[in-house]
Structure 1
Amino acid sequence: MPTAISASVAPQTGAEPRSPGPVSHPAQGKTTEAGGGNPSGIYSAILSRNFPIIGVKEKTFEQLHKKCLEKKVLYLDPEFPPDETSLFYSQKFPIQFVWKRPPEICENPRFIIGGANRTDICQGDLGDCWFLAAIACLTLNERLLFRVIPHDQSFTENYAGIFHFQFWRYGDWVDVVIDDCLPTYNNQLVFTKSNHRNEFWSALLEKAYAKLHGSYEALKGGNTTEAMEDFTGGVTEFFEIKDAPWDMYKIMRKAIERGSLMGCSIDTIVPVQYETRMACGLVRGHAYSVTGLEEALFKGEKVKLVRLRNPWGQVEWNGSWSDGWKDWSFVDKDERARLQHQVTEDGEFWMSYEDFIFHFTKLEICNLTADALESDKLQTWTVSVNEGRWVRGCSAGGCRNFPDTFWTNPQYRLKLLEEDDDPDDSEVICSFLVALMQKNRRKDRKLGANLFTIGFAIYEVPKEMHGNKQHLQKDFFLYNASKARSKTYINMREVSQRFRLPPSEYVIVPSTYEPHQEGEFILRVFSEKRNLSEEAENTISVDRPVPQPGNTNWESEEQQQFRNIFKQIAGDEMEICADELKNVLNTLVKKDQDLKMQGFTLESCRSMIALLDTDGSGRLNLQEFHHLWKKIKAWQKIFKRYDTNQSGTINSYEMRNAVNDAGFHLNSQLYDIITMRYADKHMNIDFDSFICCFVRLEGMFRAFHAFDKDGDGVIKLNVLEWLQLTMYA
C-alpha cells in the first residue's frame, strides 16, 4: 500500500525518501523546508524570447521601458509595490524597512560587475538558501544564466528603474517585470546582496522570483530543485547518498559536464530544527550548491574532490581540503592553481568525495534534458506535457489505499511505441521518466495552502482495451496490480522517477495521498523513443435511444392513477405549468416508499418543462408529461442502484458512473462541473439535483444536435440564439 512520506531536510530532496523514515497516514508529518535563520535537453522553446509577461497586463518589458524613457520617469510596479504587501503576509517585521533604488543606496551602481558569478550571492535576512543555492549553480552555465537574466540591462545606459527576468512555469516561459526598489535597513540591503556593494543583479533576481510567488515571505523554506527547474525547465532526480549507486562520483561528473545543476543537504536530527551548525563547519538542514568536481594528486595518489558553496557567503567546512587545511603545502603549486585554492571566507570550499558522502545525506540533480546520467552518450528525449487538476468530490480520489475513489483520479494513457536502441539489452524495453508536479502551492501559501503529499501509479492496459480512451473503472483497479509506481508519496512540489517497461499501452494515475484534496498539477513524460501521452476519457457523446411508437393506452392501475392525477391538476385544458408539474411529480414520487426525498423544487420543474416544451408555451400536455415521466422513472432506477443505503443521496464520485449509465459520456472537465453545480458541501447529490442534472444534459445535447445540421460536431450561434438556448434551459 502507498505510504505517505514527509520530507525532513533542506532542501527537501527524495522522491523516494527513506531517512528519517516513513510517516504513515493519518499520523502524516509536515515538510521541514530549508530556511530559517541566517548569520547575516533544454527544449527549443526555451530559446524563444516571446515569453508571456507576468505582472504587467498587455504590455511587454520593451514597451514599458520605452514609455518610461519617453516620459522621463522611473518605473514603479503597480502589482508588486514597494510596501509591506510585497514583503510579508503572516507577520509584521519588528523594524521598519525603507525601499530604495540602487542609485539611492550607493554611488555608481552596476547591474553586473565582471560577470555574474556565485560570489555575487550572499544570503540576507530571508530563509531562502534553497533559492540562492540554485542561483549559484546557475552561474556555472552562462547560456542558462543569461536566458534567466536577459542581456542589455543597466544602471547607466537607458536606465528607467525597470528590469525583467525569465522563469519556466509549469511548461511555459514567463517574463517577470519589476521596478528596482529594494528593501533596506540603515541603507543596507535586507535580503540577498552581492559581495560588491554596488552590484545588484542577484538582489533584483530575488525580487522578481518573490513577485512570481506573491511576496518575499513566500520564498521562506523550500527545495533547491524547485528553483533549479524554474531556471531551466529541466527535470530533477534525487539520491539518498547512503543508498547511492557505486559510481555516484561518475554520475556527478557527467552532470557537471552536461551543465546539470546540483544541490545537496544534510538531514536535521530533529525535523523542526533548521540550520544547525556542526563542529566540522557544515550546517544541517541547509542547502548547498555543488559547483565543481576534480581529481587532484596528493602524495602520489589521485584524490576525488567535490567543491561546494554555502549561500551564506561564509561558514565553511574546516576538515581535509578546506581553505585552511594544513596539508595544502603537500599539493603541487600548479595543482593548487588549477583548483583555484585561496584562503578566503566566501562560503566556497573543497572537500574529499569520501568526506562528502560521509557527511551529506541528499543530492539532487536537475538535468536540462532527461539524458540518463548513467549513460556515456547524449540522447534526444521526447517529452509530452499534460496539465490537470484534482477536484474535490469528483477527481480527487486519493491513493490506492482508497479503492472506492482512487479510480476517479485523472488518468493519462501512455503509449510506448518503440523500444530503446540498446544492443546489450536482451529485453525489449522502453525507458522513460515520469515527473508529477503540483502547481501554485507556494504562491497560495498566504491563503493557507501547503504542499500536498503526491505520487502516481502506472498500470498496463489490457490488449482488448488498447485504443479505447475511456476512463478505467473501479473494478479494473481492484483486480489489476500496478506495473510501476513512484516509490512513495511525499509532500514535495515534484515527484519524479525513471522506469523501464516493455512497449505497450499504459495508464498513469497521478493522485494526492488523501482524497478530497483540490489542486492543479502538470504531468511530464520523457522517453528515449517516441511516446504518446494523453488524458483518458476525452470523448463527449450521448446514446440516442431508438424512438418507440407512442402508446397512450395505459391500462395498468399505476397508469390509470397517473392519468387521473394529471386530470385533477391540469383541469379542462389538459396542460400543466411548472407549479402544477411540481404537484403532480411530488404526488407520484411520494408513492415510492423506497425513495427518500423532500420533493422536487420549482426550479427543477421549470427545467423539465424547458426540456419537453416543443411549442414554446411553457406548459406540458399529457403526452409530453408521459414522456417526461418515463425518463424520470428510468433515471430513478439508476439513482436507486447507487443509493445503496437508501439515504436519498448518492456521493459525487458515484455520479460519474450514474451519468454514464444514463447514456451520457463526458470528459473530466464536465464531471468536475457537475460536482460543483449539483453536489452539496458534503459532496452528496440528492434526487432532485440528480434529476435536474440529467434533464439539463438531455436538453443541452438535444439542442446541440438540433443546431448541428451537418453533424460535424460544431455549431455557430448568434447572441440571440445563445441567450434563448441558455436562458430557457
Structure 2
Amino acid sequence: MFSLASCSQLVICDYNPKNILMSFFARLYGSYEDLQIGQVSEALVDFTGGVNTRIKLAEAPPDLWDILTRATYSRSLMGCQTHLGTTKVLKNGLVAGHAYTVTGIRKVTCQYGPENLVRLRNPWGKIEWKGDWSDSSYKWELLSPKEKILLRKKKEDGEFWMSLRDFKIHFVDLVICKLTPDLMSQEDGKKWMYSLKSGRWVKGSTAGGSLGFCNGNFWMNPQYWLNVLPAEDSKKSPSTCNVVISLMQKHSTKHRNRAPHLFIGFLLYKVGLQYQESNRKLPPGFFTRHQPVNKHQVFLDEREVTHDFHLEPCVYVIVPSTLEPQQESEFILRVFSRKHVLREMGGNTSFTLSKEIVDRYEGKIWEDFFTKHFEQNPEINAVQLQRILNNISWRNFQSFHLNFSLDSCQGILALLDLNATGTLSIQEFRVLWKRLLFYLEVFQKRDTKRSGKLDLVELHTAVQETGISLSNEVCNLMAIRYGDPDLQISFESFVCFMLRVEIMGEAFRNLTQDGKGIYLRESEWMMMTLYS
C-alpha cells in the first residue's frame, strides 16, 4: 500500500517515468543525497540485474572495438571513468575522476582512412571534450557532408564524440553491463544459465577471512559446490567452458555513503573424486594441500568483484571471503555459464568417523554391550537410555565425568522416536549412536582447553565442523537454551543442541514446498512446538 507521502512524491514527479524511477531508487538507498556518490558499475547492476564486464583500457584487448560493437547491438549499458586529478575540469574539457556514459559508436570514413569513434555523455549535461572530434573540431571537415550532418551536433548538451584511441588514453576503465556475460566469449545469442545464492559472513562462525592471514580459519567461510557441465547445444564437447563468477557484498544500512566497502574476494578450487559427491564443507587440511584455480586472489574494496574463467567441465568449490577475519556482512554470489549446477555446501550432515573412533566405540562395544542389551529389551525407554549412556566407558573423557540427565534422555528420545511409541528400537538407537560418536569427535577437537565445555566461539566452530550453517543469532539462542549461566556447553548439552538443530532442519526441508517457508495445520504446529 502506498503512503500519502509516496503518492505525493509521484504527483510531484508529474508522472515522468524517469523521475518516478529515480524517486524509488532514492528511497531504496536512503535519500537523493545518497545517489550523488558511488560507482558506475553499481548503478548499472542495480537498474538491470545484469553482470558487469570491466575492461582496463590501458590493457584493453585487441578486439575492443568488436566488444563495443556487440555491446551496442545487444543494447547493453556502458559506462566509463576518467583518471583522478588535482584539477576538477581539465584543459581538454574532461572532468577528472568523473563517470561518463557511452551512448554510441560509429566507424566513419575520413580522407586518410577509417576512424573508430565513441560517443560519450557527461551526466551533468554540460562541460564537453575539446579535443579531436569534439563539437568544434576541424576533424569533421574530413568526413562526407552526409556523415558530418548525421553525427555532428553543435550544442552544449554534455554529449560528444572522440576517437577510440583518445578514449583508451583519457579513460581508466570501461564497464559493460549485460544480462548475460557473453561479450568476452563471443557466444552472443546462445543460452546462458544464471544461479544466485545469498550468504553471510558471521563473526565467530563463517567469517574466516582470507588464506593470507594464516589463521587456519579460512575453511570456516561459506563454501559453494559448482559443477561445470558442457553445453548441450555444443557440436562437440569443449575442452573449456566460459564461466563468470560474481561476488557482491550487501550493507546492513541503506545509506551507502555511510557504509564503506569491505575488501572482498573469492577462491575457486577444483576438487577430486573423493569430494565431488559430498555435501560437507571441505576440511581445513584440503586448503593446505591444494592450490586454487585463481592463484593470484584479488581483494577489492568494491561492492562487486567479478572474474571470468575458462574451466574444464568438472566439480569446483567457490569460497567467498573478506580479506580480514571476523568481518561481518551479507553477500550475493552469482554464477553465469552455459550449463552448471550450484549449491551451498554444509546443508546436510554426513557422518564420517575417524578410524580411531570407529575402532574404540563401534566394534567390540557394539557387539558385546548393545546387542546383548537389545536382545533383552527390543525397545528402550528414557530411563533405560540414560542407564546405557551413563554406563558406557567413555575413555576419551578422562578429565571429567559424563552424566546424561533423565531430562536430556527424554528430549533425545522425543526427537528420534519417529513412531511416537515412547521408546527407541535398535534401528533408532543405531542412528543415535552414530551421531553420538560424530559429536564426540567434533566436541573433542574443538574443546581445546580440555575443560569438558565449549564457549561460544568454540561452539560456532564446532557447529561449522558438522557441516551445518547456523546464523550467529540462532547459535547464541541455542547456547542460552542449553548452556550454563556462563553460556558454556557441556557434551551432553551439545548432543541435545545438535540433535535439535538437525531434526528441526530435516522437518523444515520435508515440509517446505519452495525452500523459503512452510504452512502448518494446527496439529502440525503443536507437534513442532513440542519439539522446541
Range into which the TM-score falls when normalised by the shorter chain: 0.7 to 0.9
| Mapped partners of 1:353, 1:217: distance in 2 | 34
Whether the 8 Å contact between 1:486 and 1:496 is mirrored in structure 2 is no
Instruction: Report Cα offsets for 1:283-313 as digits up to 9, x if no partner.
Output: 1111100011112223342221111000000
- How far residue 473 of structure 1 moved from its aligned partner, in angstroms, is 0.9
| Mapped partners of 1:538, 1:701: distance in 2 | 10
The AA in structure 1 aligned to 2:143 is V
The one of 432, 448, 470 equivalent to 1:644 is 448
Q: What is the TM-score of this pair, normalised by structure 2?
A: 0.75
- How far residue 655 of structure 1 moved from its aligned partner, in angstroms, is 3.7
Structure 2 partner of 1:179: 10
- How far residue 648 of structure 1 moved from its aligned partner, in angstroms, is 7.5
- How far residue 644 of structure 1 moved from its aligned partner, in angstroms, is 2.7
Residues 1:548 and 2:375 aligned together: no
The AA in structure 1 aligned to 2:186 is S
Instruction: List gaps (5 residues or longer) in structure 2.
Output: 354-361, 374-382, 384-389, 391-396, 415-434, 513-518
Within 5 Å, which residues of 2 pair with 1:82-161? none
The one of 130, 136, 140 equivalent to 1:328 is 140
The one of 31, 50, 60 equivalent to 1:234 is 50
Structure 1 partner of 2:247: 436
Within 5 Å, which residues of 2 pair with 1:240-639? 240-269=56-85, 276-339=88-151, 341-373=152-184, 375=186, 377-402=188-213, 403-418=215-230, 428-440=239-251, 443=254, 445=256, 449-484=259-294, 487-528=297-338, 530-540=339-349, 548=370, 608=408, 611=411, 639=443
| Mapped partners of 2:179, 2:520: distance in 1 | 47
- How far residue 247 of structure 1 moved from its aligned partner, in angstroms, is 2.0
Whether the 8 Å contact between 1:399 and 1:406 is mirrored in structure 2 is yes
Instruction: Report Cα offsets for 1:192-232 as digits up to 9, x if no partner.
Output: xxxxxx89443332111111223223323111122212222
| Mapped partners of 1:202, 1:696: distance in 2 | 53
Instruction: Report Cα offsets for 1:136-160 as digits up to 9, x if no partner.
Output: xxxxxxxxxxxxxxxxxxxxxxxxx
| Mapped partners of 1:695, 1:222: distance in 2 | 48
Provide the secondary structure at the position in 1 that maps to 2:126. coil
Instruction: Report Cα offsets for 1:231-272 as digits up to 9, x if no partner.
Output: 2221101111111112212211221111111100013147xx
- How far residue 697 of structure 1 moved from its aligned partner, in angstroms, is 3.2
Provide the secondary structure at the position in 1 that maps to 2:22. helix
The AA in structure 2 aligned to 1:668 is S
Whether the 8 Å contact between 2:209 and 2:326 is mirrored in structure 1 is yes
Whether the 8 Å contact between 1:435 and 1:523 is mirrored in structure 2 is yes
- How far residue 400 of structure 1 moved from its aligned partner, in angstroms, is 1.8
| Mapped partners of 1:632, 1:424: distance in 2 | 50
The one of 479, 498, 502 equivalent to 1:697 is 498
Whether the 8 Å contact between 1:610 and 1:728 is mirrored in structure 2 is no
- How far residue 496 of structure 1 moved from its aligned partner, in angstroms, is 1.2
Instruction: Report which stretch shifted further, 486-495 or 256-265.
Output: 486-495
In structure 2, the CA distance between the partners of 1:704 and 1:233, relative to structure 1 (3 Å rule), is closer
Structure 1 partner of 2:3: 77
In structure 2, the CA distance between the partners of 1:467 and 1:688, relative to structure 1 (3 Å rule), is closer
In structure 2, the CA distance between the partners of 1:350 and 1:217, relative to structure 1 (3 Å rule), is same
Provide the secondary structure at the position in 1 that maps to 2:25. helix
| Mapped partners of 1:255, 1:724: distance in 2 | 56
Instruction: Report Cα offsets for 1:173-197 as digits up to 9, x if no partner.
Output: xxxxx63336xxxxxxxxxxxxxxx
In structure 2, the CA distance between the partners of 1:440 and 1:486, relative to structure 1 (3 Å rule), is farther
Instruction: List gaps (5 residues or longer) in structure 1.
Output: 1-55, 57-75, 83-160, 163-177, 183-197, 552-574, 576-584, 586-591, 615-630
User: If each structure's helix is expressed as a fraction of its own residues, which one has the higher value?
Assistant: 2
In structure 2, the CA distance between the partners of 1:301 and 1:490, relative to structure 1 (3 Å rule), is same
In structure 2, the CA distance between the partners of 1:666 and 1:355, relative to structure 1 (3 Å rule), is closer
The AA in structure 1 aligned to 2:57 is I
In structure 2, the CA distance between the partners of 1:228 and 1:281, relative to structure 1 (3 Å rule), is same
Whether the 8 Å contact between 1:595 and 1:646 is mirrored in structure 2 is no
| Mapped partners of 2:505, 2:254: distance in 1 | 40
| Mapped partners of 1:451, 1:429: distance in 2 | 33
| Mapped partners of 1:698, 1:374: distance in 2 | 48
In structure 2, the CA distance between the partners of 1:422 and 1:372, relative to structure 1 (3 Å rule), is farther
- How far residue 477 of structure 1 moved from its aligned partner, in angstroms, is 0.9
In structure 2, the CA distance between the partners of 1:315 and 1:694, relative to structure 1 (3 Å rule), is same
The one of 193, 205, 227 equivalent to 2:21 is 205
The AA in structure 2 aligned to 1:667 is I
- How far residue 392 of structure 1 moved from its aligned partner, in angstroms, is 2.0
Aligned residues with identical type, % of pairs: 33
| Mapped partners of 2:352, 2:232: distance in 1 | 42
Provide the secondary structure at the position in 1 that maps to 2:18. helix
Whether the 8 Å contact between 2:80 and 2:174 is mirrored in structure 1 is yes
In structure 2, the CA distance between the partners of 1:701 and 1:211, relative to structure 1 (3 Å rule), is closer
In structure 2, the CA distance between the partners of 1:485 and 1:370, relative to structure 1 (3 Å rule), is farther
Instruction: Report Cα offsets for 1:94-145 as digits up to 9, x if no partner.
Output: xxxxxxxxxxxxxxxxxxxxxxxxxxxxxxxxxxxxxxxxxxxxxxxxxxxx
| Mapped partners of 2:439, 2:133: distance in 1 | 77
- How far residue 482 of structure 1 moved from its aligned partner, in angstroms, is 0.6
The AA in structure 2 aligned to 1:263 is G
